[in-house]
Structure formats: C-alpha cells, structure tokens
Amino acid sequence: MRRQDLADRHGRILRRRDTLAFLAAALFLQPAAAQTFPAFNWVQKLSPSGLDNFSGLATDANGNIYVTGTTRSTSFPVQNAIQDHPATPGSLSIVVTKLDSSGDIVYSTYFGGTADNIPAAIAVDSEGHAYITGQTWSSDFPTTAGSYASVPPPPGAPGPFVTNDGSVFLFKLAPDGSLVYSTYVTSAAGQSIPTAIALDSSGSAYITGRSAGKLQTTPGIYQPNCNCPGTPAGGFGIPSYDGFLARLDASGSQLLFATYLGVINANAAGIAVAPDGSAYVGTASGVLRFDSTGSTLLARSSATIQVHAMVLAPDGRVYAAGPAGSGFQATPGAFQTSSQVRPVLPTQGADSLPLAVAVFDGSLQNTVTATYFGDPFYGPQVKTMALDQAGNVYIGGNHPRHALPTRTPLVEGFGGSLATGFVSELSRDLSSLLFSSYFGNGEFFGVTGLADGTNGAIVLGGATDHGEVWVNSVQPAAPPALRIDSVVNAASLLDDPLSAGEVIVIRGAGFSPDAQVSVNATLLSRTKVAPGAITAMIPANLPNIPVSVQVQSGGVVSNSVLLNVAAASPGLFSVDGTGFGQGYILNQDGTLNSSNHPAKPGDVILIFATGVGNPIQSNQVSIDGFPAELVSGTFALAPALVGSGASVYQLTVRIPDPASMAATNPNLQGFTFPPQVGVILSVAGASSQNGLALSMAQ
C-alpha cells in the first residue's frame, strides 16, 4: 500500500493511504485557525481487492487497533502471518490485522479451514491478546491441542427446524500475532450464530448470539432448553430462535457453561462483563444480567429498547442503543425528547421505529437517562457503541445521506447510495450532542465498529457494499464557539448535496453580522445572517466535484465541511420555514394555499423551489403520486422566503384530476383527494422532501 503524509490545519502529520476515498483530503488542507476542530488522524484502507468484509474492531491500552473480517482475495496484505494465504482460494477466509496507534500494520494474517469461515466479533484483553469468535463450515478448522474441542463437539437437542449455521469457533492470538489457542465451541452443522464477545479480567471469554437449537448446554445452567418453537404457516413453519450465552476458561480448554437465554427471538446483539464476572447481554427484549456461572438470571431491564449495541461503563452503568420499544420515554433534559422530528403524510410511507439511547443503573431496574436520536422517517440504524475516557458515548451505524443530527461534521452525506456511515458523540448524561458526522463515500457504507483510541481519539471501521474495508482514527474536539453544524437546502432544510444556483442555509453558532461564507475559498452572496444561521446562494458555476464550505466571522475561521455536488438537489418551500407541513403554494386566484383556502383538481398553482440546478434540469411534479402538468417555470426573487438578492424557482403546474381518468382506470371512479396531499418535485433523478403538503377542497 502506498502511503502519503499530509499536514493538517493544526500542523499534525496525517497518513493518507491509497486514494482517500473517504473524502478526507480537502479537510486536511484547510488554513490555520484559532479554534480546534474534529479532524482525521489517519485513514486506512485495508482491502486492495474489493473482496472483503468487516466484522469488528477493538483497541488495547497502548492504542493498538485490532480488526477482523472476511476476504475471498488471495492478495490481502499479510505481515508476520500465521497463515499467509487462504486455505482455499475463493472461499471465505478470516483475516485479522493489528495496527499501531498511527495506523501502521503490526501483523496481518489469514485464518481458517478449507470451507467458509466468518468471524463475528473481536475482543482484546489488557495485554494485547485478541479473541475472535465466529462460524466455520470447515471440518479442518485450525485448532490447538488441549483446547476445549479440537474437533466439533456432539450436538445438543435440535430445534424444530433444520438450519446449517456451521460451528461456532473461538481463537486467541498473542500480541505478536502467534496462535495461543483455537477451538470449536458448538457442533458441526450447528444452529447457533455468535454475535458478540467480551472478556473478564482473567481472559475468560463470554460469547453470546442466537440459536435455533443443538447448543450443547452444561449442567446446572439457567435454561437448558431452546425457547424456539415453530409456528405453522400454511403447512410450513416460520423458524424462531433463542439467545445463548457461553463462557470458556482463560486457557480455552474448558467450557465453563453454556445456556439459552430463554427469550424467544432474543437476537442477542451485545455483551459486557462486570468485575464480579456477571454478564450483561443486550437483546431485542432489553438487557439481561446473568451470574458468573450462567445459572441465575440476576436482573433484566424493561423492554423499552431493542438493544443493537451496548457497553458497560466503569461506574457500572449500562449504555444501550437501538430502536425504541414500547413504553420508551426520553428523560427531562435529554438531547432529543420527542421521537417525531418530521411529520409524514399518510401516502408517503410509515415511520420506522425511532432510534433511542438509554442508560440503566447496574441493577437494570432504573433508567438513569434516555434520549431519542434522529428522525425515524429516514430509518437510522445503530450498529456499534463505545465510551471515551471522559464517559461520553459514541454511537455508529448507517444512515440515509440526509437528516442526521450533525455537530461540527467532517463531511455531509455523499453519493446516491441508500445509506452511508455515521458516528455521533453524546455527553455522558445524554443531554448534548458533542460531535456528529457522516462517514463514507458514494457507496453503501456502515460504521460497524467503534473503539476508544489514544489521546482522546475514536477509532471506527466498516465496509462498503463493494467489499472495501476502511479504518479511521478521528480526533474529536469540543464544539467551538464559531462552527458549522450543517449545510442544508433553504427550502427542505435537508443536508443534501449542493447544486448550482441553490439557496442554502449554513447552521451553526457564533455568526456575527460580518460573517462570510466561502465555497472552495470563493465568497458567496449572503441574504440573511443570524447568530445561528446564514442564508446564502451557491454560484451558477459550481464545479462538479466535492467542495469545502467554511465561515469566517470576527476574524476567526470555522470548521470546514466537505459536501458533494449534484446536478440538482431540489427542495420545496413550506409556509412556516420548517421544510414540511403546509407548502408555500399560491392558488389559482393568487391566495396562499391553506386549509381555509384549498385548491381543486384542475386548478393551476404556483410552487416555490430551490436546488433545481443551473442550467435548469428536466423536472416533474407529482401530487399525491399523480403526475401534474407543468405549465411554466422561471427564476424570480423571493425576499419573503430567502431574503433579498436570492432567486428561487417558481413552477406553475396544473393539479391532476384523477376522477377524469376513470375511463382508462376504473379504480379512479369517484376518486377524491384527501384534505392534504404530498407534493414532490423530481429533477435529474433527485426528489424534493417528503412531508410538504398541498391543501385540497373537500
């Protein structure tokens, strides 16, 4: 791999490997400023072949980073390897890579047998030993003498459905990458899938996951039987599963216990071990706490959160994140107290479950603090969680390329992918958003690994849908007095890519009346300036490459935010300036459309938009899903919407009359519009926001 070193705006040396597809280059080269901003320390692309996937990462006390995943490649970078090639080219091989705190490889190795091998999770002890668990379909998986099971153990009682989930494995690597032990944990063709691993202070490994049966449980445990009944469905069965918890001793030679959780469809997704050896397991039904022998369920939280990520704080508090369950309530003073950020019209789809973060006390009986996070309409997904030395909590996952709550972001959402990665930092008490940014390029990407690094850094990792594995070290910083938090379309208030001639709003803090906005060092024309928002107009000659946006105010320079550029990025104006609800639309008689002044099918109305591109791209308007006739369109000043000096696009359209189409579509016989209908403007493959309404006469 080729390495380049760059100096960032604070004079630190940054490592750039490969092509920096993570869009960091523009951020590294900003002019010096008196403030401190979040910044990349380094970016590492681990997969030159594009045939790889990411399973997890962990860090040790010295700041080394341990990454595991899979590859089908024969050219994955190896160094000090115990296995320098895949056992079978083209099959899935495990890869484990150790990086030092600067992002340089210490060791990197293949591991696995001749069939497919898939790691699920990794943990690291205080001495730098790495423990990896996952599944293998290999009968020759490398195992060590004296381990618990050098060949797959006999199966336990099968569940009602036949599955072929391979065998669960566990292996341990020394700090230099040599093999300490390796063992099967469950039978061949087993029905158990590991999802998470944690360690106690002695190096005893705890593994959790889900199981449909065949787990070889041990005597005296909490639940010897799988709570995974089948449900008849038209002569077939719908498989169900239980969670499981297993513990091996520090030498990997003994299975100390293995138990089912006793929770149907538990989908265990996180695990943490307390100093007394008890284990917290995060499930879709809340958090469970088992004693160190697996014989007793000590406590369980209420099912107010479906746990997708979990971490145990040094003070014994349990942090959990995932979709909000029934009965979830944000606590007073939380960062986000309401689940509903942007209302949705009935014909524009239903919300997904809102994302939530909660902190429980060690007994799991009390919620210390809890907050919603983000907009459920856009379906954010949390995949991973970490705490820093100050107790602040980080969550990561994937998110659509707009509507993420951001704070001093490095980049905004990129490309046309369905989702991109994100990392957000909340204060220890979940009252404040300290840092939040998208991560990724134009491909589908998710952050599926987070860990605390050295000197306050946070390490993150994940993979694109094209098989590229990325690991980043990011240096967060407290929100400065002058900062950009987001750059949004002035109509939709969504952080979509920029387009030529678009009116935008820069949101942040510390903007004085003399504040200037620049795009790639070119000053923009401002139309409004307030302490927390600047309205400005993008020039017509915007280059078709990613650009950097920055604010200078009172002699101080803000953070720089990298944004993508698109041919069009349309948004429609609302009456109240929120970007949703009643649209700013003029009726045929010139009155402002509202429930008191509704429109009728066949009427000609005037819609106001920005972000249609320059030159104007081909466009289409739909009303309640029906195409509307475009009568005309032109740019004109609209000081009431965007201040003086900025033009917006005004579209004259005719409202469709679906009832008149009944001759060709009998289903439309007697059709009437509901009181409010959605209006969508589509331009050059991009669409305006959902939730913008036109009021219709009844």
Q: What is the pLDDT of residues 358-383, one digit of tens each?
A: 999 999 999 999 999 998 877 789 99
Tokens of 669: 């016989």
Mean pLDDT of 533-551: 93
Q: What is the pLDDT of residues 187-202, one digit of tens each?
A: 877 789 999 999 999 9
Look at residue 10 and tell me whether its pLDDT is greater than 50.
no
Mean pLDDT of 471-489: 95
The better pLDDT of the pair 274, 151 is held by: 274
The better pLDDT of the pair 574, 29 is held by: 574
Q: What is the pLDDT of residue 158?
A: 67
27-41, 198-212, 299-313: least confident range? 27-41
Mean pLDDT of 313-331: 94
Look at residue 223 and tell me whether its pLDDT is greater than 90.
yes
Distances (CA, A) of 409 to 22, 72, 355, 522: 14, 34, 20, 20
Tokens of 61: 């006390």
Q: How many CA atoms lie within 13 A of 54 on its CB side?
A: 29
Element (H, E) at 641: helix 639-642
Look at residue 81 and tell me whether its pLDDT is greater than 90.
yes
Q: How far apart are CA 5 and CA 25, in angstroms?
A: 11
Spatial contact of 256 and 248, defined as CB atoms under 8 Å apart: yes
Nearest partner of 102 among 67, 69, 62, judged by Cα: 62
Spatial contact of 293 and 255, defined as CB atoms under 8 Å apart: no
Q: What is the pLDDT of residue 339?
A: 87
32-41, 77-86, 536-545, 654-663: least confident range? 32-41
Q: How many CA atoms lie within 13 A of 145 on its CB side?
A: 0
| Residue 8: pLDDT band with limits 50, 70, 90 | very low
Look at residue 2 and tell me whether its pLDDT is greater than 90.
no
Q: What is the pLDDT of residue 191?
A: 84
Residue 361: Cβ within 10 Å count: 15
Spatial contact of 115 and 138, defined as CB atoms under 8 Å apart: yes
Does residue 615 have a cis peptide bond before it, meaning omega lies within 30 degrees of 0?
yes
44-53, 208-217, 341-350, 492-501: least confident range? 341-350
Q: What is the pLDDT of residue 458?
A: 96
Residue 513: Cβ within 10 Å count: 10
Spatial contact of 85 and 63, defined as CB atoms under 8 Å apart: no
Look at residue 168 and tell me whether its pLDDT is greater than 80.
yes
Q: How far apart are CA 207 and CA 146, in angstroms?
A: 20
Most confident of 175-179, 265-269, 321-325, 563-567: 175-179
Mean pLDDT of 469-496: 95
Spatial contact of 583 and 696, defined as CB atoms under 8 Å apart: no
Spatial contact of 404 and 380, defined as CB atoms under 8 Å apart: yes
Q: What is the pLDDT of residue 351?
A: 61
Q: How far apart are CA 376 and CA 369, in angstroms?
A: 20
Q: What is the DSSP letter of 324?
A: B
* Residue 245 region by backbone torsions, left for phi larger than 0, else alpha for psi between -120 and 50, else beta: beta
680 CA to centre of own chain = 27
Q: How many secondary structure helices (H) and strands (E) does the chain include?
A: 2, 51
Q: What is the pLDDT of residue 618?
A: 77
Q: How far apart are CA 689 and CA 396, in angstroms?
A: 25
Percent of the chain with pLDDT over 90: 73
Q: How far apart are CA 512 and CA 524, in angstroms?
A: 16
Spatial CB neighbours of 9, under 8 Å, sequence gap ≥ 6? 28, 29, 30, 31, 32, 33, 37, 39, 560
Q: What is the pLDDT of residue 350?
A: 59
The better pLDDT of the pair 159, 688 is held by: 688
> 376 by DSSP, 3-state: which?
helix
Look at residue 160 and tell me whether its pLDDT is greater than 80.
no
| Residue 23: pLDDT band with limits 50, 70, 90 | very low
Percent of the chain with pLDDT over 70: 91
Q: What is the pLDDT of residue 375?
A: 85
Q: What is the pLDDT of residue 237?
A: 59
Mean pLDDT of 35-52: 87
The better pLDDT of the pair 130, 521 is held by: 130
CB-count burial class (<10 Å; 0-12, 13-18, 19+) for 665: exposed
Q: How far apart are the first and last CA of the chain?
A: 66
Spatial contact of 343 and 364, defined as CB atoms under 8 Å apart: no
Mean pLDDT of the chain: 89
What is the DSSP track for 574-609? Answer: BSSSSSSEEB-EE-TTSPBPSSSS-B-TT-EEEEEE
Q: What is the set of domains in the chain, with CATH numbers? A: 112-300 (no CATH), 302-379 (no CATH), 484-563 (2.60.40.10), 571-695 (2.60.40)
Look at residue 29 and tell me whether its pLDDT is greater than 60.
no
Q: What is the pLDDT of residues 507-531, one digit of tens each?
A: 999 999 999 999 998 999 999 999 9
Look at residue 236 and tell me whether its pLDDT is greater than 70.
no
